[in-house]
Chains A and B, each alone.
Chain A
Amino acid sequence: MTTMAAAPKIDPMLPQQYSVREVVKETADTFTLTLESSNGTAADRFHPGQFSMLWVFGVGELPISISGDPAQHHRLVYTVRSVGQATYALVSCEVGDGIGVRGPFGTGWPVEQAHGRDVLVVAGGIGLAPLRPVIYEVLHNREKYGRLVILYGARSPRDLLYRKELTAWARQPDTQVLVSVDYGGLSWRGHVGVVTTLLKFARLQPPRSVAMVCGPEIMMRFVARDLETHGLARENIYLSMERNMKCAVGFCGHCQYGPHFICKDGPIFSYDRLRPLLEEYEL
């Protein structure tokens, strides 16, 4: 079961005016933007795993997962990879630029259901961004959780997000951070191989663990299958899905995925609900 989002207080179709307060370059094509409300009103509290619709005026609207700290809900933080016209416009924003924000939308990661259990975070590429709020949540409430294990795979050392934070998280008690890259240069001293090859080094108790997985869909399929082999129950494995979200409230049907609307019923789903659909060729 995933946590349902609180209903937005205002018309969910009406963008609220926000301003860019900070832009941080994470990698060559990925930037983290911090937004604050232009009229000083507090943003709606968000649940780790939820997303917003960001309107770049004159360009278009994009669904982007919130990657900031849920405890600092007066600021909205998004990590965006420039892969097309709209994302390029978004990452090109400068401090003071205006952006329209709708949301937060969608279900969140099962952080409450994970109380008392080990938490396994498995991220691939930019998939670490939607999972970062979970990591903050666990670290702020350390007594409520067992071990925190973060497995992070990226294409190369140059593509790693949040490098300083990864180092800082690894120093926290009962926390293990393992990073792997698919292509390592000669100077790379870390792990080389796909993210699933890290599983054997994870120190956790699979039967009492909850796994939260985000990355390219094919990577999540490989990871979920291997997690099952390592003893995690399907209902304790959660994946974050992505489709072409437009309205974000389940009206338009653009993000329909089998019987689900990703925007409203997701983006977080348990693996036992998704597994039959992940094997459908044309969904």
Chain B
Amino acid sequence: METLERIIAEHPFFAGFESHFPNLLTGCASNARFDEDTYIFKEGEEANDFYLIRAGRVAVEIFAPQRKPIMVATLGEGEILGWSWLLPPYHRKFHARAIEPVRAIALDGKCLRTKCEQNHDLGYEMLKRFALILEQRLEATRFQLLDVYAVR
């Protein structure tokens, strides 16, 4: 049987993590499942957790009044959903909707923030990994804004 610790340790986000860190994280982790077309979180809600996606696909959406939600990105197996738990004021910036049945590991952000404060090596490692994700998503967003396939 797969343990949470093993699943966390084998997730691509934690590749190369020091061997005792997954054990520290396991206390903040739980399994999560979402049916197709359910919202995992919505903009403005408190951001108390993030997710390691194990299977399925999640749409990241922006809500605009009098318009249908705008899907700006999708996230899939091996990816991370949610980073607002890391930065004050810990509120969600987007909607996240399961567009396929999703299996994930939920990590409690409050619990994790406490552990990161207590263990700065863990905190620094987490920040480096999230900074890389933020950098990749910022670059992808800039690339997307170029609208390279439009007729010039």
Contact = CB atoms under 8 A, between A and B. Distances in A.
Interface of A: 29, 81, 83, 124-125, 153-155, 159, 182-186, 188-194, 196-197, 200-201, 215-216, 218-219, 222
B140 A196 contact: yes
Given A197-B140, A201-B76, A222-B143, A192 B71 contact: yes
Contacts of B149: 124-125, 153-155, 159, 182, 215-216
18 contacts: A29-B151, A124-B148, A125-B149, A155-B147, A159-B149, A184-B74, A186-B68, A189-B99, A191-B57, A191-B74, A191-B76, A192-B74, A193-B73, A194-B140, A196-B140, A197-B73, A216-B149, A218-B146
B57 A194 contact: no
A25 B100 CA distance: 31
Nearest to A155: B149
Interface of B: 12, 57, 59, 68-69, 71-74, 76-79, 99-100, 140, 143-144, 146-151
A215 B78 CA distance: 27
B140 A192 contact: no
A192 B148 contact: no
Contacts of A184: 59, 71, 74
A29 B146 CA distance: 20
A113 B57 CA distance: 36
A73 to B, nearest CB: 30
